[in-house]
Amino acid sequence: ERRCADEILWTTEAAPARWLAETGLALDPRGFLRVDAALRAVGREDVFAAGDTIAFDPGPIPRSGVYSVRAGPVLADNIRAVLTGHRLRPYRPQRDALYIVATGEPYAIATRNGLTVEGAWVWRWKDWIDRRFMRRFNELPEMTQAPTGPASPLADTQALREISAIAMRCGGCGAKVGATVLTRALGAIEPAPNPDVLVGLDAPDDAAVVDTGGPQLSVHTVDYFRAIVDDPYRFGMIAANHALGDLYAMGAEPHTALAIATVPYGLEAKVEADLAAMMAGANDVLREAGCALVGGHTSEGAELSLGFALNGLVARDRILRKEGLR
């Protein structure tokens, strides 16, 4: 007999990543990574794991986001403990968890301890829970100075935070390498001699200046940095303005521009949309400045980035440099 259905749901459970079988780590019969109570891989001192990929040796736990999130702090603490020589703490999963599933509209179904409820109010409940959780990552508290001492785990934590702070980088100001590091790195570089180069690598100015024999000097600069805003169009505007600033600082008028763009790996339509929006924003700024975009180069990379190689022109007696200020 033929039967019809309003909805068909095909639900599957979590499966282990196939590459785990090639690691030599201890796995359970289904291929999940076996971990002990401290979330450390069985038989290893230097491998930790949490989430859907693990088989928790002390006892089975559901493979759901609730348990993965709760295991996160224990995982972080134990990795830190191994690095600082402190004792590991066990992960104690909760006995039961609340599950709320939205149905696509302002309506949801919730279950816990065998009790099930549904309705629009459940959706609002889920929305409140989700937003409260995400606020923890957007509204960060001020860091306080931890007490120090030879045997204080908090002191080690503070030291790790300070090390992490060193690795943090600003995306603004071109995300440049520091001047001291740059000077040392380029100190041994000797460019080919060229009498036409009036301002070159040895000068701390904003752009290079070349004498091409005409009534005006040619000014060259290159500027490149990663996205500091989420809107590709607005980022394109910022990047173009940032690059043009080097020409203006030398007293030059923009002439031509070559773009160099990096877009993240992704679906072709997404890559196309981001690149088009970014270049449209940049070109709007360049056109307003009378600077012709004449070409460039694109590549795929980890994050959205944009830069320009610009040419400008300045009268011989109007060039501005960092020296000679009156």
pLDDT number for residue 323: 78
Q: What is the pLDDT of residues 45-78, one digit of tens each?
A: 999 999 989 999 999 888 888 888 899 999 999 9
Residue where the block lists tokens 């068909």: 8
Give the model's confidence band at 147: pLDDT under 50 very low, under 70 low, under 90 confident, else very high.
Answer: low
Are 149 and 157 in contact by the 8 Å Cβ rule? The answer is: no
Quote the distance between the C-alpha of residue 136 and its chain's center: 18
Q: Strands of 305-315's sheet, edge to edge?
A: 197-199, 208-210, 216-226, 305-315, 253-264, 292-301
Q: How far apart are CA 82 and CA 13, in angstroms?
A: 33
pLDDT number for residue 83: 92
The secondary structure element, H or E, covering residue 183 is helix 179-186
Give the model's confidence band at 162: pLDDT under 50 very low, under 70 low, under 90 confident, else very high.
Answer: low
Are 199 and 249 in contact by the 8 Å Cβ rule? The answer is: no
Does 312 have pLDDT greater than 90?
yes
- Comparing 273 with 104, the larger pLDDT belongs to 273
The set of long-range contacts for 33-39, using a CB threshold of 8 Å and a minimum separation of 24, is: 37/90, 37/91, 38/74, 38/78, 38/88, 38/89, 38/90, 38/91, 39/71, 39/74, 39/75, 39/78, 39/91
pLDDT number for residue 262: 93
Name the average pLDDT for the chain.
86
pLDDT number for residue 161: 52
3-state secondary structure 165-179: HHHCCCCCHHHCCCH
Binning the chain into helix, strand and coil, the percentages to the nearest 5 are 35, 25, 45
Does 40 have pLDDT greater than 80?
yes
Question: What is the domain partition of the chain in residue ranges?
Answer: 7-97, 98-138, 174-315
Q: What is the pLDDT of residues 81-105, one digit of tens each?
A: 999 999 999 999 988 888 899 987 7
pLDDT number for residue 167: 47
Question: What architecture is domain 7-97?
Answer: 3-Layer(bba) Sandwich (3.50)
Does 240 have pLDDT greater than 60?
yes
Q: Which percentage of the chain shows pLDDT scores above 90? A: 52
pLDDT number for residue 125: 93
Q: Which percentage of the chain shows pLDDT scores above 70? A: 88
Does 154 have pLDDT greater than 70?
no
Q: Which of 4-18, 41-55, 226-240 has the lowest mean pLDDT?
A: 4-18
Taking the whole predicted model, whether its pTM rises above 0.75 is answered as: no
Average pLDDT in the 240-250 region?
93
Question: What architecture is domain 174-315?
Answer: 2-Layer Sandwich (3.30)
Does 8 have pLDDT greater than 90?
no
